[in-house]
């Protein structure tokens, strides 16, 4: 009788080099990529519009490398930055140092904000909800820490209304989440409403010059209940 040797199932052990490489890429390389690709003239004009309604104490989740800093209006008295990436915080230092608005790094997780109820006057969310594990939980946290009637200003990429583009977003989601850590088809208005905000009139459009499956933008304001 011939006994065939059974080949063991390939299971990645703890500390697998591929996982370690991807972790290094997401922590050390990806923030630099975002710092470049999200720093364009077209996006800068969007940031101007999105930041304009803010005033008082503002919490910004997904602060990144501080690309919104030059766009804070004078009515903002302090920004409480939430950013998990150490590399992104490093890249932000020059902008933070040059800011006329005081900025403090006050947390790492938008789903668990270290502030009391009703202590913030406004919130800023730009290109962030796509990468938060539970975006509805993050919006609920914003609602909790904001005063009644506070404004949440946002610009996010997300689900396209074009069925063909939407199908490509769904096909590319697994790869994109691995490479960039974000979902392509987030339903941004639904996330804001499910988090307890009143969503106002906004803009929806493709960012000119960008690939359509990654460039459908939702821009506008939402408010906490009075």
pLDDT of residue 36: 95
Do the domain assignments include residue 110? yes
Query: What b/e string do you get for 67-88 counting C-beta neighbours within 10 Å, with b at 16 or more?
Result: bbbebbeeebebbbbbbbbebb
Cβ distance 60 to 88 under 8 Å? no
> In CATH, what number is assigned to the domain containing residue 30?
3.40.50.150
Convert the pLDDT of each residue in 116-162 to its tens digit. 999 999 999 999 999 999 999 999 999 999 999 999 999 999 999 99
pLDDT tens, position by position, 172-222:
999 999 888 899 999 999 999 999 999 998 999 999 999 999 999 999 999
Residue 10 lies in a domain: no
What is the count of structural domains for the chain?
A: 1
Residue 213: give the domain boundaries.
17-223
In a domain, 8, yes or no: no
Task: Give me the DSSP letters along 92-153.
Answer: HHHHHHH-SS-EEEEES-TTS--S-TT-EEEEEEES-TTTSSSHHHHHHHHHHHEEEEEEEE
Q: Residue 25 domain-assigned? A: yes
What percent of the chain has pLDDT above 90?
85
User: Is 171 within a domain?
Assistant: yes
pLDDT at 180: 86
Name the pLDDT band for 26 (thresholds 50, 70, 90): confident
- Beta-bridge partner residues of 219: 155, 203
Q: Evaluate whether residue 204 is within a structural domain.
A: yes
Pair 223, 54: CB distance under 8 Å: no
**How many other β-carbons are positioned within 10 Å of the β-carbon of residue 150?**
26
The b/e string for 107-132 (b: 16+ C-beta within 10 A; e otherwise) is: bebbbebebeeeebbbbbbbbbbbbb
Is 3 inside any structural domain?
A: no
Q: Say what the pLDDT of residue 5 is.
A: 38
pLDDT of residue 16: 58
Mean pLDDT of the chain: 92
This prediction's pTM: 0.89
Residue 224, pLDDT score: 98
């Amino acid at each position: 009788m011939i006994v065939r040797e059974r080949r063991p199932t390939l299971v990645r052990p703890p500390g697998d080099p591929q996982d370690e490489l991807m972790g290094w890429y997401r922590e050390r390389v990806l923030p630099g990529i975002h710092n470049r690709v999200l720093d364009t003239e077209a996006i800068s004009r969007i940031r101007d519009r999105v930041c304009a309604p803010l005033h008082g104490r503002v919490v910004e989740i997904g602060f990144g490398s501080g690309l919104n800093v030059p766009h804070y209006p004078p009515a903002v008295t302090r920004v409480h930055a939430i950013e998990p990436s150490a590399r992104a915080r490093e890249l932000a230092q020059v902008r933070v140092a040059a800011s006329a608005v005081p900025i403090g790094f006050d947390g790492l997780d938008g789903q668990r904000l270290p502030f009391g109820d009703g202590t913030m006057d406004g919130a800023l969310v730009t290109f962030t909800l796509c990468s938060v594990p539970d975006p509805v939980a993050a919006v609920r946290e914003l609602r909790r820490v904001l005063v009644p009637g506070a404004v949440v200003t946002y610009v996010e990429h997300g689900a396209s209304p074009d069925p063909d583009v939407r199908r490509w977003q769904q096909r590319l989601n697994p790869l994109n989440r691995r490479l960039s850590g974000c979902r392509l088809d987030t339903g941004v208005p639904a996330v804001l409403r499910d988090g307890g905000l009143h969503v106002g009139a906004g803009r929806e459009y493709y960012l000119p010059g960008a690939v359509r499956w990654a460039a459908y933008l939702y821009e506008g304001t939402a408010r906490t209940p009075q």
